[in-house]
Amino acid sequence: MMCLSTLLLLLVVFVGQSTVSSNPQQVSPLPVLEQILWERNMDGVSLYRIPVITYTPGGNLLAAVEARKSSGGDAGPKFLTVRRSTDKGYNWSPQNFIVNDGSTYYDGLNLGVVLVDDIMSSIYIFYSVCAHYEKCNTSSALYVKSVDDGITWEKPVNVSAQIGTKMFAPGPGYGIQKKYHPHKGRLIVCGHGTLAGDGMFCLLSDDHGKTWRNGGDVKSIPYNKPKVSGDFQPDECQPMELPDGSVVVNMRNQAHYHCHCRIIATSYDGADTFDIENVVFDPALNDSGVAAGALYHRGVMYFSNPNHRTSRINLTLQWSYNNGTTWAGQLQIWPKSSTYSCMTTIPGGLEDHVYIIYEKGISSLESISLVRVSLYGGLL
């Protein structure tokens, strides 16, 4: 029999979590600042792609991208490069090339996930190498770690000995540290596999990144078989945690199974499992087959992607007051060429703003741009 003190504790937790997610303050998002952080041929790099962004333990901002050295293709040699802002996004440091995969490595590094461990005040950036098996036959997942707020970075750590060498492409986006039970404090990084063995897969750590293991997944159908249009093929993804402790993963619908819209999976055990009855589609979120941004903040869920069924144009921010059951409004960020995006806010700092980093161009991808969005009326 449950004792009275335990029952009262559970009631307090339930009421506290319900209060966080019920009756959130209504938002009226408005862009108040935009600037280019990377652009074609900057510092001699052919093209910058796959932007991710996060707050830092010190209350600053950190952005990271792939610097594709000589071509715009997904394979080929690259740098991993970062920039920091210590004044809420107004000014940014010169880029810091923190990983160099060499000049002859044909299937180089691919971003990736940025992850903050708030308890240990550390930052991880996850990436893969040999993700496409182009002139190589063993894929690896690695991370670099910073313990000084993203100023310096330790040497890369290969986690393949712990998780295996099945291709795992993290994100792209951010990872999460669970703030609620179950498994409070757990680090979660989600990503996808090869196109044949595609699907959404998560890596978990319960010891602040010392060890990693494979967690829950949503596998493609048919699994490990060539795909055709219309197959079930979850792909690039972004996890979020809700105040009830559930983990919601917003996923790219690569082969447009069921609709040209997003796939949503929910786990109630800290991403250990994703039951099929908790995998749904959101017809309100158009998906042309592209990575997207998602964020849960102050009781409001936000989503950013090219809002078009078939083309990578019209980057749009949308928001929901009921955890994505319905979407209350939308704001166009950029009407022309736009693809991958990622979002963050600064906890304990400028919480009335959301930062969106995205790939931007006129007719093709030309730059990585950052837009700061005021959530409550546009005041700086």
**Catalytic residue list:** 74, 340, 359
Element (H, E) at 219: strand 213-219
Yes or no: say if 246 and 266 are a contact pair by the CB < 8 Å rule.
yes
> Is the N-terminal amide bond of 182 cis, ω within 30° of 0?
yes
Phi and psi at residue 4, in whole multiples of 5°?
A: -65, -40
Return the residue matching tokens 């499992």. 273
Element (H, E) at 203: strand 199-205
Extended beta strands in 272-350, E state: 279-286, 293-297, 300-306, 313-320, 329-344
Residue 10 has what DSSP assignment?
H
Burial (CB count within 10 angstroms: exposed 0-12, middle 13-18, buried 19+), residue 123: buried
DSSP-derived 3-state class of residue 7: helix
- At 215, list the tokens: 């967690």
DSSP-derived 3-state class of residue 163: helix
Q: What angle do CA 44, 95, 39 make, to 5 degrees?
A: 50
- Which region, left, alpha or beta, applies to residue 130 given φ > 0 means left and ψ of -120 to 50 means alpha? left
The number of helices, as runs of H, and strands, as runs of E, in the chain is 2, 25
- At 291, list the tokens: 């990575």
What does the alpha-carbon distance between residue 250 and residue 273 come to, in Å, rounded to a whole number?
15
Residues 6+ apart with CB under 8 A from 97: 67, 79, 80, 81
